[in-house]
């Protein structure tokens, strides 16, 4: 029995599929019916030696195989999103990139988004699966304006610190709200605050927003009662 001849090509060789002029790499070699056949670029089809040629021997025009990758982007520039782990923050999409991973037995694409935090412009990167769409780019700026996120809700004509204790709050209010007009301005500021957080609560259903609304309303009721009493005292002193 004669010695089997050696294959013309080996794994890893760069070859041209002559009939197409397409360039590829030998990825497997099989011996069938006395002939070597070759797998190119992990394709399902097999090629006999006469249909292949080393790229350095080929004189015709070559066509390198190109892979078409279709990426379905869930978010685009300007979209308003939330990020896992940043439940109290909102971000706008300012950029994105796709990382294409290819291995012998696996392949995937990874989309990474570059974000800017609405409150302070802080930059952040996040994977697609970490994002939740709040509003698309067309509606984002309008919603940001309504929610008061672009300029902190705390920036009101009358500044209210809701984190103070009741004792500190009562003392502070007693010191700063000495006239009826100041009390009314204080109420207006609280109502603005209440309306802003009502929008937030209606949009996102966050119970923290509801709690702030409740605190604001308690303070409105208390201030309104003081205005009423102030009016009674003023009328009594004038009579």
Question: What digits encode the pLDDT tens for the residues 130-141?
Answer: 999 888 888 888
Domain assignment of residue 203, given as a range: 166-232
- What's the DSSP call for residue 98? E
pLDDT tier at 189, thresholds 50, 70, 90: confident
- Whole-number Å distance between alpha carbons of 116 and 92: 5
Residue with tokens 């990139």: 97
Residue 122 lies inside a defined structural domain of this protein:
yes
Which of 226, 120, 122, 213 lies closest to 176 in space, CA to CA? 226
- Together in a domain, 96 and 126: yes
pLDDT tier at 57, thresholds 50, 70, 90: confident
Q: How many CB atoms lie within 10 A of CB 193?
A: 24
Q: How many domains does the chain have?
A: 3
**What proportion of the chain, given as a percentage, has pLDDT over 70?**
74
Residue 218 lies inside a defined structural domain of this protein:
yes
- Together in a domain, 38 and 87: no
pLDDT greater than 80 at residue 76: yes
Q: Check residue 93 and give its pLDDT.
A: 94
Residue 71 lies inside a defined structural domain of this protein:
no
Residue 160 lies inside a defined structural domain of this protein:
no
- Together in a domain, 135 and 177: no
- Together in a domain, 18 and 54: yes
- Together in a domain, 200 and 174: yes
Residues 112 and 120: beta-carbon distance below 8 Å: no
Strand partners, 102: 107
Residue 7 lies inside a defined structural domain of this protein:
no
3-class SS shares of the chain: helix, strand, coil, % to 5 = 35, 30, 35
- Together in a domain, 24 and 56: yes
Residue 209 lies inside a defined structural domain of this protein:
yes
pLDDT tier at 231, thresholds 50, 70, 90: low
* Global confidence as pTM: 0.42
Residue 152 lies inside a defined structural domain of this protein:
no
pLDDT greater than 50 at residue 95: yes
CA 137 to chain CA mean position, Å: 12
Q: Check residue 233 and give its pLDDT.
A: 54
Residue 238 lies inside a defined structural domain of this protein:
no
- Together in a domain, 179 and 143: no
């Amino acid at each position: 029995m004669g010695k089997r001849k050696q294959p013309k090509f080996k794994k890893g060789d760069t070859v041209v599929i002559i009939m197409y002029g397409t360039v590829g790499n030998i990825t497997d070699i099989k011996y069938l019916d006395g002939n070597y056949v070759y797998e190119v670029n992990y394709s399902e089809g097999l090629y006999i030696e006469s249909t292949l040629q080393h790229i350095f021997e080929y004189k015709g025009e070559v066509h390198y195989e190109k892979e078409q990758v279709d990426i379905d982007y869930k978010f685009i520039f300007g979209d308003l999103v939330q990020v896992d782990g940043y439940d109290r923050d909102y971000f706008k999409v300012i950029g994105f990139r796709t990382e294409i991973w290819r291995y012998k037995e696996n392949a995937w694409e990874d989309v990474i988004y570059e974000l800017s935090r609405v409150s302070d412009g802080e930059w952040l990167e996040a994977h697609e699966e970490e994002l939740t769409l709040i509003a698309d780019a067309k509606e984002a700026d309008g919603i940001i304006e309504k929610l008061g996120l672009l300029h902190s809700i705390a920036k009101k004509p009358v500044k209210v610190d809701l984190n103070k204790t009741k004792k500190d709050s009562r003392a502070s209010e007693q010191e700063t709200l000495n006239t009826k007009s100041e009390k009314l301005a204080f109420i207006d500021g609280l109502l603005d605050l209440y309306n802003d957080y009502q929008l937030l609560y209606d949009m996102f259903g966050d119970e923290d927003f509801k709690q702030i609304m409740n605190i604001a309303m308690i303070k409105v009721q208390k201030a309104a009662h003081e205005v009423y009493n102030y009016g009674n005292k003023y009328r009594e002193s004038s009579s």
